[in-house]
A and B are shown apart, each in its own frame.
Chain A
């Protein structure tokens, strides 16, 4: 086991813009390739992705919070994993690592409130599971620019209550990307 103080960056991503809101909060916008969705997954609204660094490996690793988040969210949004999973990737630092989530293009067209609704669900999930408000949250949100091609990716690291500001940042990033 090697010691490291940084986390892996996903492959095939390039930084498009970075906005820094305050010392505890960081939003990074990049453009990245996304995996092809199966026919079933493409009919969902939100897809839980494995750790992005594991996407190209053929051995997907889902965040340890991903199964509980899916259970919590699926009563309110159509959500599923990209692929079936039997194992998870656990990073035991004080940060809360949420799984990367992909908003499906067609679902965003059908439901303008999807991003806000999903972010509200994630905030409620974190609070209901007793996670400390002081713990930094890490979340990547991907929005399909065109079905099955590239997507805008927003990486967030900051407090739980900062998640609610991501909707505007994502919309702006998508607007600039088009």
Chain B
């Protein structure tokens, strides 16, 4: 693989970390809504390439059992992914795609939370404050969410690939630069869904509701969707997301 961002060998831990910090700074310069969409979109694509290179160093650190460096690189991976998702939020807002913007913002939050578990300092707290402000300024204050309950298979371990019940890894623990999750899960039976203010996954939003005439209204834009449902007695039709399945990059 050609190294584009990290210079030429010999590589040092300090040099790799400094490259990550410099790259983060360049990405953060674009992490403001008024910046050029063209530059933001280019940065979103470039971040994928940067993370791919970062992961070659992380894999080296994992192979060499240098856990501290692996975790530090995982911190940058998550922080930079959070900035990438934040850039996507601005693009989605500018393209009048508020639901996608909400999802991007929630991705940015989740990446930031994992990054914060590894390193906590002023720079990432400033980024966190910006995400909180974005949530407050861009989206309705009182959103409602779905909180589903279901039976599922146990799935496999994202760290070792073994059936999750048979390995030693623990869900949501960080192991040498990777977050342990259960993957390859199949839902066996949906049980119920509660409507809540505080969901586990804030991507599970209610997206549409009916008005008194049965017209479906987008709950973010308040525009009519053009769909009409049967009028109910003192009842409302609701459409929402029960389960968001887009995987985030925690490997």
Contact = CB atoms under 8 A, between A and B. Distances in A.
Interface of A: 1-6, 61, 65, 67-68, 71-72, 85-94, 128-131
Contact of B170 (A4, A92, A129, A131): A129
A91 B147 contact: yes
Given A87-B151, A94-B199, A68 B194 contact: no
B151 A88 contact: yes
A129 B171 contact: yes
A3 B194 contact: yes
Interface in B223-251: 242-243
A87 B152 contact: yes
B191 interface: yes
B152 A68 contact: no
Interface in B176-218: 188, 190-196, 198-201, 204
B148 to A, nearest CB: 6
Interface of B: 113-114, 117, 147-154, 164-165, 168-174, 188, 190-196, 198-201, 204, 242-243
B194 A88 contact: no
Given A92-B147, A93-B198, A129-B171, A67 B154 contact: yes
Contact of B149 (A89, A94, A128, A129): A89
B193 A87 contact: no
A91 B201 CA distance: 11
Given A1-B192, A3-B192, A3-B194, A92 B149 contact: yes
9 contacts: A67-B165, A71-B170, A87-B153, A88-B154, A90-B150, A92-B147, A92-B149, A94-B198, A129-B171
